[in-house]
Structure 1
Amino acid sequence: MAAVLAVVLTACSGDLLTSGEEQETPAPSLSSSPIPAPSTRAPQQPSLDRYYSQDVDWKGCGDGHECATVQVPLDYAEPAGETIDLDLLRVPAEGGKAVGSLVVNPGGPGVPGTRYAADATSYFGTEIRQVFDIVGFDPRGVGGSTPIDCVSDEQLDAFVAMDPDPDTAVEERASDAAVAALGRGCVENSGDLAGHISTVEAARDIDVIRALLGDRRLSYFGASYGTFLGATYADLFPQRVGRMVLDGAIDPSLSSTEMSLVQAKGFETALRAYVGACVDRGGCFLGDSVDAGTARIRKFLDDVERSPLDGADGRRLEIGNAVLGIWAPLYNQGYWPLLDSALRSAFAGDGALLLRLSDAYTSRTGDGYTDNSLEALFAVNCLDHDDAIPTAQVAPRIPEFERASPTFGKVFAYGLAGCAQWPVPGEQPDGPIDAAGAAPILVVGTSRDPATPLEWAEALAEQLDSGVLVRRDGDGHTGYNAGNPCVDDAVESYLVSGTVPESDVSC
């Protein structure tokens, strides 16, 4: 597994196996009025009219859902050129009459949004589902939206299984070659698409979707990477922002090194919380203290690197799989018992359950990968950042990363080189996003979130001119619908009624 996966995989984790005066923003409405032009910060070109005014043919696609495909330009600089398709899925409002659409994105980058919307009853409260059509879309290059294709399932298996923190020059060269081969495959199999699935382009697609849904302003819920996508939209089209919630936020002002250090600390904090819960129960199989427990896990990883375990489906549990298998349950406190079982079995020599947890993290089943989320993850992130360093320059940075995370520090350090061999040049984000002139934007952060640490949410809320922070004290990735009524009330009151907290909220 190339280490870049550690740095930027911020997908919203799914099923691992199988006070004062209220401020109001106008309620979204399905207006029949003409769609106004975008703000002057992102002028709509007349040549884009055909995309904004295309007919959308919604058809039933099971379970009361409606599906459609719309077109957007491959390259917004050449709108008369090649087009690509975007898959949409709409879950009609349960109340029978929607006040508008809530566009949702679960993160990744690379996770299909249609699947997120289809499972709306699992992710969104009744009040939201009563008044909004929940609309998910597969971002360009993802899922059913002209998907990027890079390598075979067998090549992806080998890629994920690789040592994420190479110990020798031979392993470093193998890691570089694997990333280069993945990127080369994207270009060879997907052509120009490999250079046109950036977050900025996906954000522009959202504005086309907004217009085609008939909403003058965008109501949006983004989780994890979906917060970066939503914040990018808000910066491009601030006057188009309606009610927006960004949960498990990413700080767009950080360099890759800064992001990696914070995320390394976040995963270490989450691991220590997991081990601490085990110790507090008494008789913990990991050890009698948090330090002893994390050391036991680190020793286990070192042992697997030397001697992979028997896994499942004729496959072995390699070191890359073992790391991901441990990370996956840290996204949701409810999955900690699964990690208990997986580690107990693995300590006894059976790596099957830990391999299945790794597979869940990368959308793999016994029959292969169910989507292209892993390929899209690399393709999008390497387009969005241009500050990768050569693998040979990683070693001097390792001590700093190991201070942040004694268990996973080297993995995150080598992630800095993950896009150095990518064949399509990337662009570094412009820095802080302020979205000046946008309606209030609710930013949610969780204190022990492994993938998107609380300090990122705090930073994004501070950067946004209209940001309002909701802090959740808890474990797991993202804060809404995670068992905290205070968070749920703040999010639902804003989306449904437009009620904006007078100040930041601590839950």
Structure 2
Amino acid sequence: MRRLVPVLLVAALLGGCSTPAAPTQAGRKLSAPSQEPSTASGVQIEPAVWKPCPDVYKGIFSSPPQNVKYDCTTVKVPQDWQNPEGSGTFDIALVRGRSTTQRDRVGSLFINPGGPGASGFEYAVYRSVYLPAEVVRRFDVIGFDPRGIGRSSPVQCFSAADLDANFGIDPDPQTDAAFGESVAVTRRLAQTCGDKYGDTLRYFSTEQTARDIDALRVAVGEKQLTYLGYSYGTLLGAVYAQLFPKNVRALVLDGAVDPTLSMQDSAEKQAAGFEHAFDNFTTWCKANTTSCPIGPDPRAVVMKAIADARTAPVQGKGRKATAGWVFTAVVSSLYSESSWRVLAQAMQDLRGGNPDKMFQLADSYAERDPEGKYSNMFDANAAVGCADSDNTPTVEQARALQPQWRSKYPLFGGALALNLICAQWPGKRDPYPAGAATGSAPIVVIGTLGDPATPYEQAPALAKMLGVGTLITWRGEGHTAYPKTGCVIEAVNRYLIDLRVPAANLTCDK
């Protein structure tokens, strides 16, 4: 299971807030982009040469978006920022969405959707339509696929068959034989990447990508960075702010990751977060019986479905609904309250022998298409996540944690104790820094009380660590908050456009 997952593409929802935003910093505009070569981390970066790419909407929208035009480019960056002259280069793909009604341009707004492994290129195309109109009119919306992802020198080492095995395997193996099977599957994944990439696997770390972002800032001609990062994208933004505090104009970090947590502590908090989200789903089922056909105790239904799938999985089209696939469907559905109804119906259909809806949920999470092909989401997710940590629990330590976490978090604990890919990862590690962004402009950090993937307590922790963080709390459900509720929208818009920092500890209601 991936460590962090990209925010779902959901339309904005309106809500209220308990405290109004207050101006605490004078607004200012960015100058027009520079067209002169400049440097990032001591490396000369050539200005981006944009070319029209009107067809990038395909696969995202059914028809071309109105009032937005798209341009694309690639920027070359060193493979290893610690040794820029002694390594090769990666090509980083960028897309720029610009409103045809743009006026009073502020600058470029860089977006990252998280993952690690999600395509920021595709996400920016989506967000160029579904960000607040006020923001789109004032900024070029710029997305990039980070190194190793999508269009940017992608890491590709997992076969579709191995990924099917990984997702389908028992998520919480309890017998020695089942655990041994999980170890074998994940060892094969790790060895495949090691055989192909060797010591260069460490090049895909978060710190290397954060340095790329500064090169991209230089390439598009911005003196300072304006950035919107979700989920894992908050970690990228936090690392950037520590490395380049003087280059920060405005950073919004939504669905915050606490960089001070170890991989083990982060996984345990995520287990607790998913248990909390499932409890909220249970409460919804009890209050919405007509929309929740599995009854008032969905936990019992889901746990029975996983148990039954261990011995008698329902046959689907071309594969069986094994315990791993059922578990993945449940995880997928908890990222947004709008998916609860789908989960309830999927579990009801599964009880009736039809796993189609369950597979739809699971495949959306796994980025598996109807032909059984995968994006490189999980290749990159493993490469980044494993490179980032040098304190991964061993296979033996994970096995010891498993029953402990299962007792505390019955549905998710046993599975999240087992990061068996990183435990067997062959590459060298490159941990990111975790400290204050001394000298940076104020940074906005957003946490959602019902967030399962990046539990809320990580948001105040990140704001405190940065030293310049201002916290926004949303009393909502699901993963991330902007732009889902009016209060958060207004506060973030004013910050991005006018640099008006929200009032301290702003709390927004549903």
* CA distance, structure 2, for counterparts of residue 404 and residue 124 of structure 1: 39
Tell me what 2:239 maps to.
232
Deviation per residue, 1:256-299 (Å, 9 max, x gap): 121111110100111111121110124653343xxx33122212
Structure 2 counterpart of 1:480, from 479, 482, 485: 482
Is contact 2:120-2:146 (8 Å) kept?
A: yes
Is contact 1:90-1:136 (8 Å) kept?
A: yes
Letter in 2 for 1:458: P
Structure 1 unaligned regions, length at least 5: 39-43
Deviation per residue, 1:169-219 (Å, 9 max, x gap): 222222222222212222333455423110000010000100111110000
Deviation per residue, 1:434-453 (Å, 9 max, x gap): 11111111101100101011
Tell me what 1:455 maps to.
457
Is contact 1:10-1:452 (8 Å) kept?
A: no
Tell me what 1:306 maps to.
311
Is contact 2:37-2:47 (8 Å) kept?
A: no
Task: Indicate yes or no: 2:315 matched with 1:322.
Answer: no
Is contact 1:36-1:216 (8 Å) kept?
A: no
Deviation per residue, 1:113-159 (Å, 9 max, x gap): 10001112454111111110000000000001010110221221112
Tell me what 1:10 maps to.
5
Structure 1 residue 481: Cα displacement: 1.7
Is contact 2:172-2:415 (8 Å) kept?
A: yes
TM-score (ref. length: structure 2): 0.90
Is contact 2:294-2:344 (8 Å) kept?
A: no
Is contact 2:316-2:356 (8 Å) kept?
A: yes
Letter in 2 for 1:422: W
Structure 2 counterpart of 1:361, from 362, 365, 375: 365
Percent identity for Structure 1 against Structure 2 = 36
* CA distance, structure 2, for counterparts of residue 437 and residue 323 of structure 1: 44
Change (3 A) 1:503 1:94: farther
* CA distance, structure 1, for counterparts of residue 507 and residue 75 of structure 2: 40
TM-score (ref. length: structure 1): 0.90
Give secondary structure in 2 for the equivalent of 1:140. coil
Give secondary structure in 1 for the equivalent of 2:418. helix
* CA distance, structure 2, for counterparts of residue 15 and residue 503 of structure 1: 27
* CA distance, structure 2, for counterparts of residue 144 and residue 187 of structure 1: 21
Task: Indicate yes or no: 2:135 matched with 1:128.
Answer: yes
Structure 1 residue 14: Cα displacement: 3.2
Letter in 2 for 1:333: E
Task: Indicate yes or no: 2:429 matched with 1:426.
Answer: yes
Change (3 A) 1:55 1:260: closer
Structure 1 counterpart of 2:468, from 462, 466, 469: 466
Structure 1 residue 34: Cα displacement: 6.1
Structure 1 residue 372: Cα displacement: 0.4
* CA distance, structure 1, for counterparts of residue 441 and residue 269 of structure 2: 29
Structure 2 unaligned regions, length at least 5: 12-20, 56-63
Letter in 1 for 2:6: A
Tell me what 1:443 maps to.
445
Is contact 1:295-1:407 (8 Å) kept?
A: no
Task: Indicate yes or no: 2:46 matched with 1:53.
Answer: yes
* CA distance, structure 1, for counterparts of residue 135 and residue 23 of structure 2: 22
Structure 1 residue 386: Cα displacement: 1.7
RMSD: 2.1
Structure 2 counterpart of 1:96, from 102, 112, 124: 102
* CA distance, structure 1, for counterparts of residue 152 and residue 22 of structure 2: 44
Moved more, 52-61 or 448-457: 52-61
Is contact 1:172-1:391 (8 Å) kept?
A: no
Structure 2 counterpart of 1:187, from 169, 178, 194: 194
Is contact 1:310-1:316 (8 Å) kept?
A: yes
Tell me what 2:17 maps to.
none
Is contact 2:119-2:150 (8 Å) kept?
A: yes
Moved more, 260-269 or 147-156: 147-156
- 1:74-473 equivalence runs, <5 A: 74-80=79-85, 81-97=87-103, 98-121=105-128, 123-190=130-197, 193-282=200-289, 284-288=292-296, 292-312=297-317, 314-415=318-419, 417-431=420-434, 433-473=435-475
Change (3 A) 1:444 1:319: same
Structure 1 residue 9: Cα displacement: 3.0
